[in-house]
Amino acid sequence: MANQWLGLTTVINEGANLTKDTDGLVDKPLDQPLLTTEARSPLRTEVAIAMTLVIVVLAVILWLLRPPLDLYTQSVLNLSGDPVQGRSIFVMNCVACHGEWANGKVGPNLHGVSDRKSDAKLVHQVVSGETPPMPQFQPSPQDMADLLSYLKQL
Ligand code: HEC
């Protein structure tokens, strides 16, 4: 047992010598640590704080530069919708997939969908056609506003 440990130590030591000897890449002997632990940790804290600040600032900048809503979505969101009207648009266009009471069939249950998706995302879902088999709808802004108000009260 003791011999095995000795053997292992020798292998490790040889490995360490090898890394130190690599041709000129390491120009100082690594016997002494470059920085002591006491000297390093406050520096690391400062670097971590600085990086966090940079990330926060970048996030704020990205948020400020977020793409503006397209004109269609803007006009939908500026209109006030009628959920009763929205319900009849829903019955005509959506129940085949989302079910008579939006409980889900081919398409998902839409109750509480406005907790998961912003108004702009809901409009996008209806008009984009990005998630087949759901088709791309092209309601007038007022129809879309009505539909949106119905979806939001589900
Ligand atoms: C041909 C079937 C079909 C029709 C018609 C349809 N949908 Fe969908 N819908 C889907 C499917 C499938 C999904 C899931 C898409 C995905 O995320 O992959 C979906 C997703 C959605 C979502 C997002 C649900 C979520 O949980 O994020 C909304 C909102 C929605 N539909 C609204 C509507 C409205 C409003 C109409 C009518 C104007 C409509 N859909 C018509 C099939 C349909």
Q: Residues 51-83: pLDDT tens digits?
A: 999 999 999 999 988 887 889 999 999 999 999
Ligand 1 within 6 A of CB of 148:
no
Rounded Cα distance, 29 and 133, in Å? 66
pLDDT band at 1 (very low <50, low <70, confident <90, very high): very low
Ligand 1 mutation target, pool 134, 152, 153, most atoms within 8 A of CB? 134
pLDDT band at 8 (very low <50, low <70, confident <90, very high): very low
Helix ranges, the chain (H): 2-21, 37-64, 71-78, 83-93, 95-98, 113-116, 119-128, 141-152
How many CB atoms sit inside 10 A of residue 129's CB?
13
Ligand 1 mutation target, pool 76, 91, 94, 150, most atoms within 8 A of CB? 94
pLDDT band at 2 (very low <50, low <70, confident <90, very high): very low
Tell me: the pLDDT tens digits for 98-146?
999 999 999 999 999 999 999 999 999 999 999 999 999 999 999 999 9
> Cα-atom radius of gyration of the chain, to the nearest Å?
31
CATH 3.10.450.50 for the 71-152 domain, yes or no: no
Q: What is the pTM of this model?
A: 0.68
